[in-house]
Every structure is written in C-alpha cells, then in structure tokens.
Amino acid sequence: MSKNYTLHYDPIRAEGNKGDIQKYEFDTHAQIIDFIDEKTYMRRNQCVWVVSKDDLEDVFVSKNALSIQDFLEKKNCWKTKGVFHLFECEDLGEAYDLAKNITETYYENK
C-alpha cells in the first residue's frame, strides 16, 4: 500500500562519496516533521537546507533546521499529501542556486 507522504532527502556527503538521493515514505505529515528533526539534529547550524514540494512553486531556504520544521507545520498547502524534497547545502549561495533551479524547472514544466 502506498504511503501518503514521500520525502526525497539529499544530505551533504563526504567528498568523493556520491550516492543516490534517499527516499522515505510516511503515513502522516507529522512523521515527516519528526524525521526531519531526527536527521537535522546533529547538523543544526552546519549547513543550509532547501525544502520543496512537487506541484508547488514555492521553495523554502533556511540556515536553521527548526525554521524548516516550523514552516512545514504552519503552511497549510505544505501539509497536504505529496512528494517533498529536502536538500542540505554547504552555504547560502549553493542553496539559493538550487532554489532558483527548482523554481525555473517548475515553470518550464507548467
């Protein structure tokens, strides 16, 4: 049986260690929030996060993992079932470039 929420998570990896983006599935939105809390706990201030959701043009960028969780908990359109993406970036420049690319891809596919 298919889960209601899918999260594609792309953590920063050790140099030279290229791996596939990890896919996780959840029954509830709250489980995604808990998973993000668990995965980002040790890296709270060490990277920048980018979160996006299929079918939404919005992309959220933050240096604070708690802000990502707060954003996902409070924005109603982000609480709906669907496919989410969470990326770790080394700095804001990389994160903003990724966010721009995600947004441009969204409009190209419309």
- The domain made up of 5-11+21-108 is a member of CATH 3.40.1440: yes
Domain ranges for the chain:
5-11+21-108
CA dist 96 and 83 (Å) reads 21
List pLDDT tens digits, range 3-34.
899 999 988 765 545 567 899 999 999 999 99
Q: From 61, 49, 53, select the one nearest 89 (Cα to Cα).
A: 49
The structure's pTM equals 0.86
- Residues, the chain, total? 110
pLDDT at 107: 79
Whether the Cβ atoms of residue 59 and residue 87 lie closer than 8 Å to each other: no
Q: β-strands 5-10, 22-26: how paired?
A: antiparallel
In sequence order, the β-bridge partners of residue 48 are 89
pLDDT at 46: 80
DSSP state, residue 48? E
CA dist 56 and 90 (Å) reads 24
Alpha helix stretches (DSSP H) within the chain: 29-40, 65-74, 92-108
pLDDT at 14: 52
CA dist 69 and 73 (Å) reads 6
Q: Average pLDDT per run of 10 along the chain, which is 110 residues long?
A: 87 63 94 91 82 89 90 91 92 94 84
